Amino acid sequence: MSEVKKIAVLGGDGIGPEVVGEALKVLKKTEELFGYKFETEQALFGGIAIDEKGTPLPQETLDLCLASDAVLLGAVGGPKWDSNPAALRPETGLLGIRKALGLFSNIRPATVFDCLKDASTLKPEVLEGTDLIVVRELTGGIYFGEKSRRDTENGQEAIDTCVYNEKEVERIVRQAFDIAMTRSKRLASVDKANVLETSRLWREVVIRVAADYPEVELEHVLVDNCAMQLLRRPASFDVIVTENMFGDILSDEAAMLTGSIGMLSSASLGEGSFGLYEPVHGSAPDIAGQGISNPIATILSVALMFRLTFGYHDAAQSIEDAVKAVLDAGHRTGDIAVDKSSAVGTNAMGDLIVAAMKK
């Protein structure tokens, strides 16, 4: 009998609970098809937690996550909380949960479906064969370095310090190499080693770790060149690994290759197999409650969970194949539909994908 996997479910704000609801249908179908067992428990997180508990990350939510094998998150935030002080903003809960759960890497796949190539702003022939993953370091770099201001003769001066140590670099790089080993065995390490000392350390560590992965073809790419090549030859990339700020920018650029941010899954991983999985898109409060949001990114996040945390590659492939089949059949939610009048709703898209899943 399959071991029961416990999943903490954080619907969050806006369309978050709607798209997570469709992902839960996929979990149930997976149990029926493959015999895997899941125990899910829902908890408050983000803006709704601020409203009901006075904090974006209640202790009971954090305790549930710590006691689970994985976390499935919808989305957080909205204009309702935009004027709150920093400690009472939904996004603060995201930073808090990443730190508390020891999540140091963000994994963002960007796959262009053949039937959706026309939805991208790039030419279809440029996008042909694009299927890449950006691995972004989450806990170091300029976002977390010391920050200060001081008065000078030219007025105020602001300082942001970029810091990385060897351990931080090695753990994210090894994770990227491990992921590359499960794919096409190609890794692009992105830095700015011609200018930055942190990037020179980054490159030194990458070269040292690469010796343990002789099967992986390693390429060093300067970040400005990588930004250009993502638009010029995106299909030449398989796995990209980079530091925090570079990864923040490049993963958003890669996201737009697909034509819709509503299609993109993500994972935040720590040591071992634990991970937090969520769609890349935001809470979209303008369409919340209308039943028109795209659940595909959240459903694909479940497939990512199966691959990276549980090792359920058969079930993950079933989900990914079902999504492709539904899209190939011409079904679209409003964000990716050319003819909006024929668009299907959130629930209908989830039902179509569940129906298309096969063992």
- Any known ligand binding at 22? no
- Any known ligand binding at 321? no
Our answer to whether residue 224 is catalytic in this structure is yes
- Any known ligand binding at 31? no
- Any known ligand binding at 69? no
- Any known ligand binding at 341? no
- Any known ligand binding at 171? no
Residue 170's contacts (CB-CB under 8 Å, 6 or more residues apart) are: 205, 209
- Any known ligand binding at 136? yes
Q: Which of 53, 131, 143, 178 is catalytic?
A: 143
Our answer to whether residue 248 is catalytic in this structure is yes
- Any known ligand binding at 82? yes
Q: How far is CA 152 from CA 146, 149, 157, 159, in A?
A: 19, 10, 7, 12
Q: Which of 252, 321, 324, 351 is catalytic?
A: 252
Q: How do 131-137 and 239-242 pair as beta strands? A: parallel
Q: What is the largest CA-CA distance in the chain?
A: 72
- Any known ligand binding at 307? no
- Any known ligand binding at 83? yes
- Any known ligand binding at 318? no
Residue 133's SS3 state is strand
Bridge partners of 155, per DSSP, are 152
Our answer to whether residue 151 is catalytic in this structure is no
Q: Which of 51, 63, 118, 224 is catalytic?
A: 224
Our answer to whether residue 328 is catalytic in this structure is no
Q: Which of 192, 277, 312, 335 is catalytic?
A: 192
Sign of CA dihedral 39, 355, 73, 135: positive
Our answer to whether residue 314 is catalytic in this structure is no
Q: How do 265-269 and 275-279 pair as beta strands? A: antiparallel
Q: How far apart are CA 51 and CA 8, in angstroms?
A: 20
Residue 85's contacts (CB-CB under 8 Å, 6 or more residues apart) are: none
Q: Which of 131, 178, 248, 351 is catalytic?
A: 248
Binding site as annotated, residues for Mg(2+): 224, 248, 252
Which residues are annotated binding-site positions for substrate?
98, 108, 136, 224
Annotated binding site: 78-91, 98, 108, 136, 224, 248, 252
Catalytic residues: 143, 192, 224, 248, 252
> Which residues are known binding-site members for NAD(+)?
78-91
